[in-house]
Amino acid sequence: MTREYEVQDKIGLHARPAAQWVKAVARVKGPVTIRSGETVIDGKSILQVMALGMRPGAVLTVTFPDDLTADMLQEIDDAVKDFLVPKIF
């Protein structure tokens, strides 16, 4: 399952939002990857998430395991809603 998020925090994806993201996806069984341009990282690694240096307005493409439940996805969206907004198509 793939989902895009737009960075809304006016400073970008710095330490605090990165930590909140990692905490939100920690319960996901299986890999979570984040793509930014040509760079693909482990979405469960705070160091890799922070190293992306995402600025406001940047779009992240996140890949979750196919068996991720709608409830779990909603929990993640709720946990990160202050700095990442899902782009629903």
Which domains, from first to last, does the chain contain?
A: 2-87 (3.30.1340.10)
15-40 pLDDT tens trace: 888 999 999 999 999 999 999 999 99
**In the prediction, which pLDDT does 89 show?**
53
Q: Which residues make beta-bridge pairs with 41?
A: 34
Separation between Cα atoms, residue 41 and residue 57, nearest integer Å? 19
CA 12, 16, 18, 22: dihedral to nearest 10 degrees?
-160
34-64 pLDDT tens trace: 999 999 999 999 999 999 888 899 999 999 9
Per-residue pLDDT at 88 exceeds 80: no
**In the prediction, which pLDDT does 22 show?**
95
Split at pLDDT 50, 70, 90, the class of 85 is confident
From the DSSP assignment, how many helices (H) and strands (E) are in the chain?
3, 5
Separation between Cα atoms, residue 13 and residue 52, nearest integer Å? 8
